[in-house]
Amino acid sequence: MDESHGIPLDGLKINPNFDYVHQFTKLFIDDDDINDSPYGDCILSCDYFDEEQFINKFKHSDKLILMSINVQSLHAKFNELSEFILSLEQSNCNPCVIALQELWKVTDPDVFKLKGYQNLIYT
């Protein structure tokens, strides 16, 4: 795992100089530049999984895994989220990027640290 970039790199070939935020923004906002995306020939799938299904599908995966979770109050559910991410890690099923929705009021983002991931970035 590469702690300097906050993403698990076990077995993955990831360019540490790649600007993920810019590229993902281009995917969803800037249609003119979508052909510049390194993921242009990738099949992106958006499916709902419970924890067991997610682990079964992505255990030992060498693909970039993006996880989106509606936490409905990060403050109230952070311990549950941390336990969930730890469970995925113990199952060799670490998502590379975790996107959280409905964080609600975040007064101190430093309180919400997940081992092996960058600090919380939110707007």
Q: Looking at residue 119, what DSSP letter applies?
A: P
**Are the C-beta atoms of residues 69 and 81 closer than 8 Å to each other?**
yes
Alpha helix ranges (H) inside the chain: 20-28, 51-58, 74-90
Q: Looking at residue 16, what is its pLDDT?
A: 62
Q: 3-class DSSP state for residue 68?
A: strand
pLDDT, tens digit, 9 for 90 and up, residues 46-105: 788 889 999 998 888 888 888 899 999 999 999 999 999 999 999 998 899 999 999 998
Pairwise CA distance, residues 65 & 53, whole Å: 14
Pairwise CA distance, residues 95 & 73, whole Å: 21
Whole-structure pTM value: 0.61
**Are the C-beta atoms of residues 67 and 95 closer than 8 Å to each other?**
yes
